[in-house]
Amino acid sequence: MSKKATCLCLTGWGQRFDSLEFVFKESNFDPFFVSSIDYSGFSDVEKFFTDIKSQNLNPEIVIGWSLGGQLAIRLVEKKILNPKLLILIAPPFQMVKSEKIAAAMSQKTFSEFRANLIKAANQAMRQFSILISMNDQNAREIAHTLDVNDKNLFNLINWFDELKRFSCFDLDFSQIPRTLLFQGVGDMIIHPSQADYFKERIKNFRLEVFKNCGHAPHLSDIEKTRKIILEEISKL
Percent of the chain with pLDDT over 90: 89
Q: Is residue 79 part of a domain?
A: yes
pLDDT digits (tens, 9 = 90+) for 131-173: 999 999 999 999 888 877 667 788 999 999 999 999 999 999 9
CB burial class (10 A; 0-12, 13-18, 19+) of residue 235? Answer: exposed
Q: Is residue 159 part of a domain?
A: yes
- Measured in degrees and rounded to the nearest 5, phi and psi for residue 34 equal -115, 130
Q: Please report, for the domain that includes residue 13, its CATH number.
A: 3.40.50.1820
Q: Is residue 73 part of a domain?
A: yes
Q: Above 70 in pLDDT, residue 179? A: yes
Q: Above 90 in pLDDT, residue 32? A: no
pLDDT digits (tens, 9 = 90+) for 85-114: 999 999 999 999 999 999 999 999 999 999
Q: Is residue 98 part of a domain?
A: yes
pLDDT digits (tens, 9 = 90+) for 61-71: 999 999 999 99
Q: What is the DSSP letter of 57?
A: -
| DSSP E strands, the chain | 6-10, 33-36, 61-65, 85-89, 178-184, 205-210
Q: Is residue 33 part of a domain?
A: yes
Q: Is residue 160 part of a domain?
A: yes
pLDDT of residue 224: 98
C-alpha torsion 130→131→137→141, nearest 10: -30
Q: Is residue 1 part of a domain?
A: no
Q: Above 60 in pLDDT, residue 3? A: no
Q: Give the span between the Cα atoms of 158 and 117, in whole angstroms.
A: 11
Q: Mean pLDDT over all residues of the chain? A: 95
Instruction: State how many domains the chain has.
Output: 1
Q: Is residue 17 part of a domain?
A: yes
Q: Give the span between the Cα atoms of 65 and 132, in whole angstroms.
A: 12
* C-alpha dihedral sign at 218, 219, 223, 226: positive
Domain span at residue 87? 6-233
